[in-house]
With several copies, the nearest count.
Chain A
Amino acid sequence: MLKEIIFYGRGGQGGVTAANLLASAALKSGNKGVQAFPFFGAERRGAPVKAFARISDEEIYLRSQIREPDVVVVLDTGIMDVVNVTEGLKEDGIVLLNTPRKPSEVEMPCRVATVDATTIALNNKILVGGIPVVNTPLVGALAKLLDGVNIEAVKEAIKERFGKNAEANANAAEQAYNEVVL
């Protein structure tokens, strides 16, 4: 089964890394086909960016952008003013928001999950150039929402990728895994 995920965020928040981590974790969790890619503009830090991930038990030949995602991850709810994040979302698709609010406090025409990744990032002191990096906690939360991906694989993928900040990021992921609400 093919699962398609879109990440919405801003340059510098690590949306692309989130997609990559998810793909790694998915591979580690036993999926044969995994893929992660950005839709890069020539964006600078702070500008809206989009990243994609695909997970499947078979080899993936698709190279096009995801137009009908199963899951949408919003790293920064601010962009929801500018971007319609539910566009194309599958019928039973889920939107995962980085927000302190509960799903019930969010009015959206679809299933919503939430986690306060920014606070988790700040608590774990993961910042780059003053901007909290919310990608690792969100990937942790995804492990809860996606069938084919387990949290141990996520933590492993984080540890492979991050040098000295690996621990803090892995902790953040685990914390989010536990705190995410659907």
Chain B
Amino acid sequence: MGKTGTWRVFRPVIDKEKCIKCWFCWVYCPDAAIARKEYPEVDYDYCKGCGICANECPVNAIEMRREEK
């Protein structure tokens, strides 16, 4: 149970403006890396960057950005 955030090549970035709080990103995240706070919050220590959240967000509020290392 290392910090799997280091596996990431692309990182999901959530645009709260767009978010309609459908919580799809939360329910589908294989890594339980999105918290259901006021808005969805990504835990970058563990998010592996699969992109499911972005793919499933109905309003395209999540963008996958190349990690800078």
A, B from the same assembly: yes
Give complex CA distance A66, B35 in Å: 42
Give complex CA distance A47, B3 in Å: 10
B51 touches A130 (CB 8 A): yes
Instruction: Report the contact-size class of chain A (Cβ under 8 Å from the partner).
Output: 10 to 19
A78 touches B4 (CB 8 A): no
Most buried by A among B3, B9, B51: B9
Q: Is A30 located at the chain interface by the 8 A CB criterion?
A: no
Give complex CA distance A10, B2 in Å: 13
A47 touches B9 (CB 8 A): no
B48 touches A78 (CB 8 A): no
Given contacts A77-B69, A99-B69, contact A82 B51 (CB under 8 A): no
Within 8 A of A (CB), among B1-42: 2-4, 6-9
Instruction: Report the contact-size class of chain B (Cβ under 8 Å from the partner).
Output: 10 to 19
Q: Is A110 located at the chain interface by the 8 A CB criterion?
A: no
Chain B residues near A131: list those with CB within 8 A: 9
A78 touches B51 (CB 8 A): no
Smallest CB-CB separation from B51: which chain A residue?
A130
Summarize B's interface: helix, strand, loop or mixed. Answer: loop
Cβ contact of A46, chosen from B3, B4, B51, B67, cutoff 8 A = B4
Give complex CA distance A47, B69 in Å: 17
Given contacts A46-B7, A130-B51, contact A82 B2 (CB under 8 A): yes
Cβ contact of A81, chosen from B6, B48, B51, cutoff 8 A = B6
Give complex CA distance A77, B48 in Å: 15
Chain B residues near A132: list those with CB within 8 A: 9
Q: What would 22 A/B residue contacts be, using CB atoms closer than 8 Å?
A: A10-B7, A46-B4, A46-B7, A46-B48, A47-B4, A47-B7, A48-B2, A48-B6, A77-B69, A78-B6, A78-B7, A78-B8, A78-B67, A78-B69, A79-B6, A81-B6, A82-B3, A82-B6, A99-B69, A130-B51, A131-B9, A132-B9
Partner-A contacts on B (CB < 8 A): 2-4, 6-9, 48, 51, 67, 69
Query: What 8 pairs across the A-B complex have the smallest Cβ distances?
Result: A46-B7, A78-B6, A77-B69, A81-B6, A78-B69, A46-B48, A82-B6, A82-B2
